[in-house]
Amino acid sequence: MMKRAQEKGLASLHVHNIRNWATSKHLTTDDAPYGGGQGMVMKCEPVFAAVEALKTPESRVILMTPAGRPFKQQIAQEYACRNQHLILLCGHYEGIDQRVIDQLVDDELSIGDYVLTNGAIAAVVVTDAIVRLIPGVLGDEASAAEDSFSDGLLEFPQYTRPLEFRGWKVPDILLSGHHAEIAKWRHNMALEKTRKNRPDLLGE
């Protein structure tokens, strides 16, 4: 999908190694935390140098971190239509010097309540979710509009040929040709699925 978007000239993806902006003898990009504690913290100097070299007036700098706000379809939609240039800053979790967050970062995003070893994994997820929403990237423009979450509900069940598989049949309503009835059935099924798997989306 990303490849197709790039071939069509609708998006371009560049991967940069922060180490390229490290200036110390051993090209270090992290150091022990002030105040003590486990793990390492990403240093200011190489991160500031990297972001300042790559930034344009249209850039938004997004830090991938489990301490970020939860990434949602709506955020993907906003970035897909508004932002020309996103810089996704990825660290190895323990963390990053707070001065980076205070001075450089516009948004902190988490892809879920779990800790990955590397924010780059989260950046791939966020990139995929945003790029597929750029107009022209998906083959069928309608397919994004019918996604789970686009109307606040999970997606309704889908069926394709054969009509009967191992004795399990496609629901009759889908063969009826009554478009209004089908839409109503799909809405009810989406509600039922959402109630079962994600009652939080319904405020339940």
Q: Is 132 a catalytic residue?
A: yes
Tokens of 79: 């970035």
Locus of tokens 């950046």: 123
Residues touching ligand ADE, count (CB under 6 A): 12
122 scored as a contact of ligand ADE (CB under 6 A): yes
Is residue 108 a contact residue for ligand ADE (CB under 6 A)? no
Nearest distance from residue 6's CB to ligand ADE, in Å?
24
The residue within the footprint of ligand ADE, chosen from 114, 158, 164, 200 (CB under 6 A), is 114
Sign of CA dihedral 7, 121, 125, 41: negative
Burial 85-113 (b: 16+ CB within 10 A, else e): ebbbbbbbbebbbeebbeebbeebbbbee
3-state secondary structure at position 184: helix
From 28, 44, 54, 66, residue interacting with ligand ADE (rule: CB under 6 A): 66
Whether 66 sits among the annotated catalytic residues: the reply is yes
Q: Which is nearer to ligand ADE, 5 or 89 (CB)?
A: 89
| CA atoms 128, 188, 176, 174: torsion sign | positive
94 is catalytic: yes
Q: Is 116 in the site for ligand ADE (CB under 6 A)?
A: yes
Would you tell me which residues interact with ligand ADE (CB under 6 A)? 64-66, 93, 110-112, 114-116, 119, 122
